[in-house]
Amino acid sequence: MLVVGVREGKCGMLSVVEDPMIVEGPTIVEGATIVEGATVGFDDSGPPGVTTGEIGDVVAGLRELVTVGVTVSSVAHAKEQLDLYEQISRLAEAGQVQVLGAVDASGVYVEHGHYSATVMQRHQTQSSSATATARDKTRRMLNQCDQIAEVFFDGKIGVDHIRVLARAFSNPRTVDAFIQQQHRFIQWAERLACKRFEARVANWVRTNDFDGPEPNDRAHENRDAKLTQDHFSEAWQLRGTSSSAVGAEQREILDAYIEAEFHKDWEAAKAVFGDDVCVDKLARKPAQRRADALHQIFLDAAANPNSSARGKTVHNIVWTAETYAEMLRRFAGAEPTPFDLDTYRCSTVDGDPINPAEAFIDSLTSQIRRIVIDARGVVIDMGEARFLTGLARLAMQISNDECCWPGCHLPTTACQADHILAHTKGGQTDQHNMVPCCAFHNRTKERGYTVWRDTNTGEIHIVTPGGEQIQ
């Protein structure tokens, strides 16, 4: 039984309300006792489960073991140690999945404005979206596959294996056969190394998916394009899938551009080497010409006055004052000093990092707008004269590169500009009072949450209707 209590305003008056976002509808207890600082609790009519104290004891024991460290005296000893720690990681993952299931069933994640139990777990454990999604798929599979659940909770299936199974389970065309044939997967998982296990399960899906893995119309339905950045190398990767006809058309256009790039190299080399010109003497490698050809297609599209998309001709780069000042020093010939991790920023508005040397040169010579912010994230300089509309909105985006809600990673450019203090309550439309907020959390905020900005640090704080700060 879920008891939701809401403290209204600062006067400490208590009332109990039904939360509209809990779909199944909690049972509301009139006059429930609310523990100070906590607004959601469970009564003791359900199964007791493991207490946090008991889990804490296990963690303390493990920490002690890890602090002492490990030595290995023989192959047998090494195998023993590897197996034991593998057991621990499997059981810890099983525990994480159980907690996720319990959080999902209780609906408590709603109280902190999280979209789902998975988002809450990703935020609380600071894990990647890939891990959070894999764990959620595992939870869904275990809900319906009791045999797999039994062996997984006994530590007999590895984490990599269980994630392969969860992925196969998510295919809606084969899910019924999957549930019926769980015993096969368990046998394979206990016997096969991950690589062979994955190939075997993928083959099972292929042979049980009677519609075929990707019939012709699915290629069109599943079309996709992603341009993503690796935060370490700062390089971007473009990956796309299209139907056979569209792919062939794109291929033809790209080939024409690659040929144009080849001719540029050929003509340049011929001017130097005359009749001795050959492919080895060309300035760029074929892979480099292909990448440049693709970039040229984008540039041509942006320059086309009849383009179907409104071209954005100014590219915004966000710097902290400290980072830009250091680049200026280097540019003036001073010895480089290392950047300070706490103040360093050179990125797009969405927070995608950009190489500072490259961006600095661009800021001096091209149509790139230089925006400098101080330690509180407040804009102190916009260095380029070609202002487009909506500068106030842009200034707001720069203070946060994603939705202001803890745990929500929607990029700022996909968010709405939101007043911290509502306009109707006298809130100003300026950068101190504006934050990026996604549509979901904009609605969440209206349910009695308080959002405020610390004027000293510039940080956004969100307080639940019960008075608890969300972190």
Residues in touch with Zn ion (CB under 5 A): 403, 405, 408, 438, 441
Residue 40: half-sphere exposure toward Cβ, Cα within 13 Å: 16
CB of 120 to Zn ion, least distance (A): 13
CB of 457 to Zn ion, least distance (A): 21
What is the DSSP annotation of 199-239? HHHHHHHHHH-TT-SS-HHHHHHT-EEEEEE-TTT--EEEE
Of 253 and 439, the one with the shorter C-beta distance to Zn ion is 439
C-alpha–C-alpha distance, residues 62 and 43, integer Å: 31
CB of 445 to Zn ion, least distance (A): 10
Of 115 and 324, the one with the shorter C-beta distance to Zn ion is 115
Terminal CA-to-CA distance of the chain, rounded, Å? 26
Under a CB-based contact definition with an 8 Å cutoff, are residues 427 and 421 in contact?
yes
Under a CB-based contact definition with an 8 Å cutoff, are residues 394 and 314 in contact?
no
CB of 399 to Zn ion, least distance (A): 15
C-alpha–C-alpha distance, residues 415 and 393, integer Å: 11
CB of 113 to Zn ion, least distance (A): 8
Of 372 and 410, the one with the shorter C-beta distance to Zn ion is 410
Q: Sheet holding 13-16: strands in order across? A: 13-16, 2-8, 40-42
Token representation of residue 93: 């993952």
C-alpha–C-alpha distance, residues 434 and 400, integer Å: 10
Of 317 and 460, the one with the shorter C-beta distance to Zn ion is 460
CB of 123 to Zn ion, least distance (A): 11
Of 293 and 437, the one with the shorter C-beta distance to Zn ion is 437
Q: Where are the beta strands (DSSP E) in 216-358?
A: 224-229, 236-241, 315-320, 346-347
Of 394 and 438, the one with the shorter C-beta distance to Zn ion is 438
Q: What is each CA distance from 301 to 296, 298, 406, in whole angstroms?
A: 8, 5, 37
CB of 297 to Zn ion, least distance (A): 34
Of 101 and 377, the one with the shorter C-beta distance to Zn ion is 377
CB of 355 to Zn ion, least distance (A): 29
- CA Rg, the chain, in Å? 28
Of 208 and 413, the one with the shorter C-beta distance to Zn ion is 413
72: Cβ contacts below 8 Å, ≥ 6 apart = 78, 81
